[in-house]
Amino acid sequence: MTVITTNDEAEIAQLKQCLCNNFQNKDLRCLKYFLGIELTQTKECIVISQRIYMLDLLKDTDIIDCRLVDSLMDPNQELMPKQSESFSYPEIYRRLIRKHIYLTITKSDLSFVIDGLIQFMHVPHINY
């Protein structure tokens, strides 16, 4: 899949023609969803979001009905990995962290929390 973006319609047409001459392809017109990112285009701007990706992540973790909070994490809270038992399935923790890292493309406010949790990817522990 190739994504073409520019303000110059003639340049887009020329590139599409070149691609058609050399490769089998299909023009999908305006890009709406690509690699977990939604794109909404107006004449003034392009808005990107990961709403569907985030909803799928909440469904996968069975917390779709979670309560919203204003502050994600107390910046003064100290996370200590050795104070609790080891998580039985560390690969699940790692997969979820990787998915959350991908969310920072559009939700940079998650970076602080995710950076804190990344510290425990090798040996995750359960905190009660």
Residue 3 located in a structural domain:
no
Q: Are strands 37-41 and 33-34 parallel, antiparallel or unpaired?
A: antiparallel
Residue 80 located in a structural domain:
yes
The C-alpha torsion from 109 through 79 and 91 to 100, rounded to 10°, is: 0
Residue 123 located in a structural domain:
no
Residue 47 located in a structural domain:
yes
Residue 55 located in a structural domain:
yes
Residue 125 located in a structural domain:
no
State the residue range of the domain holding 57.
9-118
- Total domains in the chain come to 1
pLDDT classification of 15: cutoffs 50, 70, 90:
very high
- Give the model confidence (pLDDT) of 81-93 as tens digits: 566 677 788 888 8
- Whether the pLDDT of residue 128 is over 60: the answer is no
pLDDT number for residue 50: 92
- Give the model confidence (pLDDT) of 26-80 as tens digits: 888 888 888 889 999 888 888 999 999 989 988 888 888 888 777 667 777 777 6
Residue 69 located in a structural domain:
yes
Residue 53 located in a structural domain:
yes
- Cβ burial of 97 (10 Å; 0-12, 13-18, 19+) is middle
pLDDT classification of 109: cutoffs 50, 70, 90:
confident
pLDDT number for residue 6: 81
